[in-house]
């Protein structure tokens, strides 16, 4: 396996281990490693982990995905994800954060065994991270993910997605934020089953932050939110 795929620890303060892969990580590799980590956390009390990465172009199907919502004119690989939600695109220019967390204990203001509160925390993590970059992210009733309104066009679009799976109260999968992906790749699916709205990215909104700059903000905002 290329060394850039193997996650490298860039932060370990005795609590959550933060890791990052610099090469594109094939989806089956990510799934396998998440499964192993979840097992270690549950069985052996291993440290929780947040893994930052990018995937090569691919589509994943959540447990509610409909075959009619997949078009895939470019023939990208498709994978069942086992997480909640519907179809999602992953690819270069999109920051994916996979979180393997023991939800049987509290995390900041998130009570133990409260999946709804955990998902809300992840949404707030994305929103406060975007705010640091001058982007106003918002929740929408009945729509999963984080949404923005382009002030230049008035168009509403999705900038970040999330999907969570829980195994014996250990979470896996996580979030994705569109930094500068090929937005036309999303035309191969109905993203998250929502036909009425499009997708956008930081770059399309005029934000030129690098992946490393985004990572640093994600760490800072996680620490700030979890300490509340």
Buried b (16+ CB within 10 A) or exposed e, 207-216: bebebeebbe
Q: Is 170 a catalytic residue?
A: no
Catalytic residue among 100, 192, 202, 225: 192
Alpha carbon of 105 to those of 13, 102, 112, 200: distances in Å? 19, 6, 4, 35
Strand pairing category for 17-20 and 49-53: parallel
Of the candidates 171, 172, 169, 145, the residue with the CA atom closest to the CA atom of residue 156: 145
Alpha carbon of 77 to those of 21, 55, 141: distances in Å? 20, 11, 31
Q: Indicate which residues carry an active-site annotation.
A: 192
């Amino acid at each position: 396996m290329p060394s850039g795929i193997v996650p490298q620890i860039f932060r370990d303060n005795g609590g959550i281990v933060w890791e990052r892969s610099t090469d594109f990580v094939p989806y089956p590799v990510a799934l396998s490693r998440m499964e192993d980590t979840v097992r270690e956390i549950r069985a052996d009390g291993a440290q929780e982990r947040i893994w930052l990465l990018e995937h090569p172009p691919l589509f994943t199907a959540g447990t509610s995905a409909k075959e009619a919502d997949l078009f895939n004119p470019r023939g990208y690989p498709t994978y069942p994800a086992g997480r909640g939600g519907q179809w999602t695109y992953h690819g270069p220019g999109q920051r994916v954060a996979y979180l393997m967390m023991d939800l049987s204990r509290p995390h900041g203001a998130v009570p133990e065994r409260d999946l709804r509160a955990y998902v809300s925390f992840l949404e707030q993590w994305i929103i406060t991270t975007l705010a640091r970059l001058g982007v106003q992210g918002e929740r929408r009733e009945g729509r999963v993910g984080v949404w923005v309104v382009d002030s230049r066009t008035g168009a509403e679009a999705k900038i970040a997605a999330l999907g969570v799976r829980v195994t014996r109260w250990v979470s896996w999968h996580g979030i994705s934020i569109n930094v500068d992906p090929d937005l036309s790749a999303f035309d191969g699916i109905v993203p998250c089953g929502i036909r009425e709205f499009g997708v956008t990215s930081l770059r399309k909104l005029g934000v030129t932050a690098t992946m490393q700059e985004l990572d640093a903000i994600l760490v800072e905002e996680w620490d700030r939110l979890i300490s509340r």
